Amino acid sequence: MTEPYKLHDNLLLGVATAATQIEGGDNTNTNWYRFSQTKGNVKDGSSPLRCDDHYRLYKEDAELMKEMNIEIYRMGIEWGRIEPEENKFNDEVMNHYIDEIKLLKEKGIKVLLTLHHFSNPLWFEDKGGWLKKENINYFTSFVKYVVTKFKDLVDEYVKINEANIYAANCYLYGVWYPKHKKMKEAGKVMKHLCIAHILSYKIIKEINPNALVGFANHMAGFKPARNKFIDKKVAKFLDNAFNNSINRAMAYGTFSFPMGKSKKLKGNYVDFFGINYYTGNLVQGFKFFTKKDCPKNDLGWEINPVEFNEFIEKFHKEFNKPIYVTENGTADAKDAFRAKYIYDHLKVISDKEYVTRYYHWTLMDNWEWAEGEKAKFGLVEVNYETQERKIRKSGHFYSEIIKNKEINDEMIKEYL
Number of H helices, E strands in the chain: 15, 13
Question: Rounded to an integer, what distance in angstroms lies between the CA atom of residue 331 and that of residue 378?
Answer: 8
**Minimum distance from CB of 180 to ligand BGC (Å)?**
19
> Is there a contact between 206 and 272 (Cβ–Cβ < 8 Å)?
no
For residue 382, the cross-strand partners are: 389
**Whose Cβ is closer to ligand BGC: residue 20's or residue 29's?**
20
**Minimum distance from CB of 377 to ligand BGC (Å)?**
6
Question: Rounded to an integer, what distance in angstroms lies between the CA atom of residue 303 and that of residue 308?
Answer: 9
**Minimum distance from CB of 218 to ligand BGC (Å)?**
5
**Whose Cβ is closer to ligand BGC: residue 200's or residue 330's?**
330
DSSP 410: H
What is the crossing angle of helices 393-404 and 338-349, to 10°? Answer: 30
Q: Number of residues in contact with ligand BGC, rule: CB under 6 A?
A: 11
> Is there a contact between 47 and 391 (Cβ–Cβ < 8 Å)?
no
Identify residues 310-349 at the interface with ligand BGC (CB under 6 A). 327
Instruction: Give yes or no for residue 276 binding ligand BGC (CB under 6 A).
Output: yes
Identify residues 20-39 at the interface with ligand BGC (CB under 6 A). 21
* Residue from the set 53, 162, 307, 344 that interacts with ligand BGC by CB under 6 A: 162
Instruction: Give yes or no for residue 161 binding ligand BGC (CB under 6 A).
Output: yes
**Whose Cβ is closer to ligand BGC: residue 308's or residue 411's?**
308
* C-alpha torsion angle, residues 129, 97, 64, 54 (rounded to 10): -50
**Minimum distance from CB of 108 to ligand BGC (Å)?**
26
**Whose Cβ is closer to ligand BGC: residue 139's or residue 301's?**
301
**Of the candidates 291, 311, 179, the residue with the CA atom closest to the CA atom of residue 242:** 311
* Residue from the set 368, 376, 391, 399 that interacts with ligand BGC by CB under 6 A: 368
Instruction: Give yes or no for residue 158 binding ligand BGC (CB under 6 A).
Output: no
The region of 76-84, 158-166, 174-182, 343-351 touching ligand BGC under the rule CB under 6 A is: 158-166
**Whose Cβ is closer to ligand BGC: residue 225's or residue 272's?**
272
How many of the other CB atoms lie within 10 Å of CB of 90?
14
The region of 52-60, 121-129, 159-167, 174-182 touching ligand BGC under the rule CB under 6 A is: 159-167
The one-letter amino acid at 176:
W
**Whose Cβ is closer to ligand BGC: residue 218's or residue 392's?**
218
> Is there a contact between 278 and 286 (Cβ–Cβ < 8 Å)?
no
**Minimum distance from CB of 386 to ligand BGC (Å)?**
23
> Is there a contact between 234 and 178 (Cβ–Cβ < 8 Å)?
no
Instruction: Give yes or no for residue 279 binding ligand BGC (CB under 6 A).
Output: no
**Minimum distance from CB of 151 to ligand BGC (Å)?**
26
**Minimum distance from CB of 126 to ligand BGC (Å)?**
23
Pairing state between β 323-328 and 12-16: unpaired
Instruction: Give yes or no for residue 52 binding ligand BGC (CB under 6 A).
Output: no
**Minimum distance from CB of 157 to ligand BGC (Å)?**
16
**Whose Cβ is closer to ligand BGC: residue 107's or residue 374's?**
374
Question: Rounded to an integer, what distance in angstroms lies between the CA atom of residue 87 and that of residue 82?
Answer: 10
DSSP string across 128-162: TGGGSGGGHHHHHHHHHHHHHHTTTT--EEEEEE-
**CB burial of residue 263 (10 Å; 0-12, 13-18, 19+):** exposed
Identify residues 372-391 at the interface with ligand BGC (CB under 6 A). 377
CA–centroid distance for 340 within its chain: 21
Q: What would the x/- binding string for ligand BGC be over residues 216 to 255, using CB under 6 A?
A: --x-------------------------------------
* Residue from the set 163, 165, 195, 364 that interacts with ligand BGC by CB under 6 A: 165
**How would you classify residue 173: left for phi > 0, otherwise alpha for psi between -120 and 50, otherwise beta?**
alpha
DSSP 371: G
Residues that bind ligand BGC (CB under 6 A): 18, 21, 161-162, 165, 218, 276, 327, 361, 368, 377
